[in-house]
């Protein structure tokens, strides 16, 4: 019997809580071992929907974690991520460039995206830099 989307996502969350998973391919493989068959594309959509991000393990590697949902307001979550990850911020006209600790740009950008601020047109994150496009230069 094929698991439901809810069951698949619950298994995915449990897996990343119990193990240090670094790639989507590894997630697919581990889920397959548990009898949950899904494509990489499906897992990619689940990752986005569940607010799963990659963070640095501090040992030069990365792992998937779920952003906490619930009691913390999005602004509070954003401030926690930024307080731990951001090294510097610079602005040039409509573009803000944020330098983070290595491996933390994705988490910081995901936190910024979750805020859904109208002045932010979009974000692009690399390993340690985020580019944020603003509607106006202010």
**What digits encode the pLDDT tens for the residues 31-43?**
999 999 999 999 9
Which residue among 38, 66, 94 closes a domain?
66
Q: In this structure, are 9 and 62 located in the same domain?
A: yes
Task: Enumerate long-range contacts of 113-122, CB under 8 Å, 24 or more apart.
Answer: 114/51, 114/67, 114/74, 114/77, 114/78, 115/74, 115/75, 115/78, 116/74
**Structure confidence by residue, pLDDT tens digits, 38-59:** 999 999 999 888 878 877 666 6
Q: In this structure, are 48 and 20 located in the same domain?
A: yes
Q: Tell the residue number behind the tokens 């590894």, with chain if given.
A: 26
Q: In terms of Cα–Cα distance, which of 129, 131, 108 is closest to 121?
A: 131
Q: Kindly report whether the global pTM for this prediction surpasses the value 0.75.
A: no
Which residue among 33, 66, 99 closes a domain?
66
Domain containing residue 84: 74-134
* Helix ranges (DSSP H) in 51-95: 74-85
Q: Give me the CATH number covering residue 115.
A: 3.30.1360.40
Q: Is 70 exceeded by the pLDDT of residue 72? A: no
For the chain, the domain total comes to: 2
Which pLDDT band holds residue 77 (cuts at 50, 70, 90)? low
């Amino acid at each position: 019997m094929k698991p439901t989307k809810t069951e698949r996502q619950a298994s995915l969350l449990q897996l990343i809580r119990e193990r240090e998973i670094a790639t989507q391919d590894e997630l697919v493989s581990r889920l397959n071992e548990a009898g949950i068959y899904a494509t990489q594309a499906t897992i990619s959509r689940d990752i986005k929907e569940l607010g799963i991000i990659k963070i640095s393990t501090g040992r030069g590697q990365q792992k998937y974690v779920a952003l906490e949902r619930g009691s913390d307001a999005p602004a509070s979550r954003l401030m926690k991520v930024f307080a731990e990850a951001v090294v510097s911020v610079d602005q040039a006209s409509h573009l803000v460039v944020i330098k983070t600790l290595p491996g933390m740009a994705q988490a910081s950008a995901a936190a910024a995206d979750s805020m859904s601020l109208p002045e932010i047109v979009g974000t692009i994150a690399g390993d340690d830099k985020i580019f944020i496009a603003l509607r106006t230069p202010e």
